[in-house]
């Protein structure tokens, strides 16, 4: 099933279904791009046609934002739950076979290394075969490192839209089977940043927690009321079923 929010596609899947999709991708001999779509990204796609194309060509687009879940409901459609980048990452490591190899790309120097260290401790036998921070200038060297590592899953934490654009730009060169943009997940997994308390996540207030911790996000957060306004003014057509 495929939905479209203001012209931007996404798949209304659960975390378990997303894991199953990735598991299937790993059996196919080609690269697949996975996007975890937040409402900020939907609004960026309204103004940036190239970014909209990047999202719309992706093999799997999850609803990483309660805004998409609520907008679906207002349009008489059902998106079962939010599937954020960090949640998908953790679910993959919990449920995919230990034979799957991961490469972590992104964040400040040392952050992804610490995230990898913590993940290996949490999931014994986890095979993280490569780590590279996000402060690189030579794309070719990074692509070669990914290829040499034999990674199956490439986790990219470069922030949006850079991570989506980078995966799309190099989709024909990437040797991994799956590439996923995971935003600031490495900062959280390394312990550098704390995620919102569970009660705030349950009440859909993670955006508020992040804003309080990082006030510089205020301009980005302005996309949230803009998205809500577009949905309310759409007459129940902001989210539509495509397939």
Count of domains for the chain: 1
The tokens for 175 are 């040797």
Query: Which residues, given as ranges, of the chain have pLDDT below 50?
Result: none
Contact 89, 182 (CB under 8 A): yes
Contact 62, 13 (CB under 8 A): yes
Q: Which domain holds residue 21?
A: 3-241
Q: What is the pLDDT of residue 173?
A: 96
Q: For residue range 206-225, list pLDDT tens digits in order.
A: 766 666 676 666 666 677 88
Q: What is the pLDDT of residue 193?
A: 75
Contact 239, 73 (CB under 8 A): no
**What is the spatial distance between Cα 77 and Cα 69, in angstroms, rounded to a whole number?**
9
The tokens for 48 are 């940036």
Q: Is the pTM of this model over 0.85?
A: yes
Q: What is the pLDDT of residue 204?
A: 65
Neighbour-count burial for 111-142, b at 16+ CB within 10 Å, e otherwise: bbbbbbeebeeeeeebbbbbbbbbeeeeeeeb
Task: Give just the sign of the alpha carbon dihedral 129, 161, 159, 82.
Answer: negative
Q: Which residues contact 92 (CB under 8 A, 6 or more apart)?
A: 19, 22, 100, 153
Parallel/antiparallel/unpaired status of strands 32-37 and 178-181: parallel
Q: What is the pLDDT of residue 208?
A: 66
């Amino acid at each position: 099933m495929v939905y479209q929010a203001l012209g931007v596609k996404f798949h209304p899947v659960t975390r378990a279904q997303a894991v199953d999709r990735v598991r299937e991708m790993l059996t196919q001999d080609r690269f697949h791009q996975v996007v975890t779509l937040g409402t900020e990204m939907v609004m960026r796609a309204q103004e940036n046609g190239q970014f909209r194309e990047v999202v719309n060509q992706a093999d799997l687009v999850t609803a990483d934002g309660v805004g998409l879940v609520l907008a679906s409901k207002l349009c008489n459609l059902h998106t079962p739950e939010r599937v954020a980048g960090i949640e998908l990452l953790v679910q993959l490591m919990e449920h995919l076979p230990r034979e799957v190899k991961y490469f972590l790309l992104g964040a400040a120097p040392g952050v992804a290394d610490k995230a990898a260290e913590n993940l290996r401790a949490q999931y014994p036998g986890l095979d993280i075969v490569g780590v590279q921070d996000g402060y690189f200038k030579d794309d070719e060297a990074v692509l070669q490192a990914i290829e040499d590592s034999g990674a199956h899953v490439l986790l990219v934490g470069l922030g949006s839209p850079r991570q989506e654009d980078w995966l799309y730009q190099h989709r024909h060169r990437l040797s991994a089977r799956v590439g996923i943009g995971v935003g600031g997940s490495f900062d959280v997994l390394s312990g550098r940043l704390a995620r919102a308390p569970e009660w705030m996540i349950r009440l859909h207030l993670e955006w508020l927690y992040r804003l309080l911790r990082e006030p510089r996000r205020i301009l980005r957060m302005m996309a949230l009321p803009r998205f809500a306004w577009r949905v309310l003014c759409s007459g129940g057509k902001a989210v539509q079923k495509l397939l």
